[in-house]
Amino acid sequence: MAIVTQVNAVVETAVKDAAEKASEQLTPMLQQLAIAAGWPADVAFSLSVKPKDGELHVSYPEELDEQINNLEYGTPSSAPASVIRPFVARIGSHIGNVLEDSVVAIMEEMRMF
């Protein structure tokens, strides 16, 4: 049973590391997309990608919620400049690459057992 515990610990650590790595890579990508879509720089640079409960989420300060929703969904007087929704829809392939790297790391760790 001890080996199962060790394997679980290795897998858990690798997945956590992969999520951190993905968030570090994805945050500047998201910010640059927001800038390119015409979002104000301060709002764009407030966006980040963070791991939470085994998933990656777009995060930003609560006080910017209305401004970000207006940019993302538009208002009666301005068209939407959607960034977050298309970004979330596209990040799956990037996460797949990061997880693939994690599987390699797990296999290397497994050689220790």
pLDDT category, 9, cuts 50, 70, 90? confident
pLDDT category, 18, cuts 50, 70, 90? confident
Count of other CB atoms within 10 angstroms of residue 62: 7
Residue boundaries of the structural domains of the chain: 2-110
pTM of the complete model beyond 0.85: no
pLDDT category, 49, cuts 50, 70, 90? very high
pLDDT category, 20, cuts 50, 70, 90? confident
The dihedral of CA 59, 61, 65, 66: what is its sign?
A: negative
